[in-house]
Structure 1
């Protein structure tokens, strides 16, 4: 068993993307047998700017980066993997993730979203109400998602329905 406390966090960018109605983009992971919905997220390469990583990951994961940045975290938010996943995911090198989060208004049309990318991670997607977000995420990320709602819910509500 890996001593979790000695492992670092994996640097990652998370993207909270909403549409004109203020609904949040969520996608079903392709590599899970159980339902595992999440917002887009991905690793930050060594030397890469977190904002650049976020846009790269959007393009890689959902086929589009037609977005407008409205907010981001200044600090890093973390989550720990549950014990049964430590040592198994990310080649056992990390205890969890430290994340910079970016809030984007989606500027495209639903047809611009394409999950069938070169490195497909999701099997399906949908827009959901912000209040439904915590119930859809795996339990070990739930506190993080609730913190995101507190931080960014007002920005999303304030900007929903506004044309950029």
Structure 2
């Protein structure tokens, strides 16, 4: 497993006007786990472009309804549990290395449509950021704590600015 590379990915935290974060429940999992949009960065693709593309592919949210707030200063990583290596991604990767972006969502709930051409989520909702680590599969909890730490300041600033 240690000889395998990490899959390059982009992850996206989308925050609405109430300071809540978009999470979706994956179609390919029977777990009650929720996650933020994320996905692979194509060969030659910029991480920000991949993030925006993934949001559209997974949530149906148009790019015009997203405002970039912040990018995590560092790439974040997670390892797959040993029992999943070889089963996911045709056994090519040990986990993911991700560039994370924080976007403000300026649209309405009706602008979210998870019934996309290639749906990934069976349900979606807005969640309190502090609850995110408890909502994700256990092997990604440290990653989600790192994402929250990376975006702590802009999330607090937005919360303080709300009436």
Which of the five TM-score ranges fits, normalised by the shorter chain? over 0.9
Corresponding residue for residue 119 of structure 2: 120
Determine helix, strand or coil for the equivalent of 1:78: strand
> Aligned equivalents of 2:127 and 2:152: distance in 1?
13
Structure 1 moving runs of 4+ over 3 Å: 160-163
Determine helix, strand or coil for the equivalent of 1:88: coil
1:35 lines up with 2:32 in the alignment: yes
Corresponding residue for residue 5 of structure 2: 8
Post-superposition shift, 1:162?
Answer: 5.5
Aligned length: 160
Determine helix, strand or coil for the equivalent of 1:144: helix
Output aligned runs, 1:33-72, within 5 Å. Answer: 33-64=30-61, 65=63, 66-72=65-71
Output aligned runs, 1:98-137, within 5 Å. Answer: 98-137=97-136
Determine helix, strand or coil for the equivalent of 1:22: coil
Q: TM-score, normalised by structure 1?
A: 0.94
The answer to whether the Cα contact below 8 Å between 2:72 and 2:147 also exists between their aligned partners in 1 is: no
> Aligned equivalents of 2:52 and 2:161: distance in 1?
22
Q: Which runs of no fewer than 5 residues in structure 2 stay unpaired?
A: none
> Aligned equivalents of 1:130 and 1:30: distance in 2?
22
Post-superposition shift, 1:144?
Answer: 0.8
Task: Give the alignment's Cα RMSD to 1 decimal.
Answer: 1.3
Q: Which runs of no fewer than 5 residues in structure 1 stay unpaired?
A: none
Output aligned runs, 1:90-101, within 5 Å. Answer: 90-101=89-100
| CA distances 1:71-104 after superposition (whole Å, capped 9, x unpaired) | 0023211000001100000111000000000000
